[in-house]
Amino acid sequence: MEAGIGFAREFTGYSLPVLSFARDAVKRALDVPIHEGLKIEADLSTLAFQTKDAAEGTAAFEEKRKPRFTDE
């Protein structure tokens, strides 16, 4: 149980919309050929990089600070 809690804690600082895109990519790509799975991943990555949280993540990286995601 502790391992599960530790695993979940790793994700508490991430952007919820981006986590949702990642979860959807995995779920949708499981039952399709690899080339279709890669297309799904590319499409969802494009959407993820259009979020405000993506801009915040990039800014935080450049400024060497922790990001302050707003889940937008």
CATH number at residue 41: 1.10.12
| Residues with pLDDT less than 70, the chain | 1
- How many domains does one find in the chain? 1
What is the predicted pLDDT for the residue at 66? Answer: 92
Distance, CA of 18 to CA of 55 (rounded, Å): 12
What is the predicted pLDDT for the residue at 9? Answer: 77
Q: Which domain does 29 fall in, by range?
A: 2-62
Q: What angle (nearest 5°) sits at the alpha carbon of residue 11, between those of residues 8 and 12?
A: 95
What is the predicted pLDDT for the residue at 6? Answer: 77
pTM above 0.85? no
Indicate the Cα dihedral angle 53, 57, 62, 63, nearest 10°. Answer: 80
Coil vs helix vs strand at 43:
helix
In a domain, 72, yes or no: no
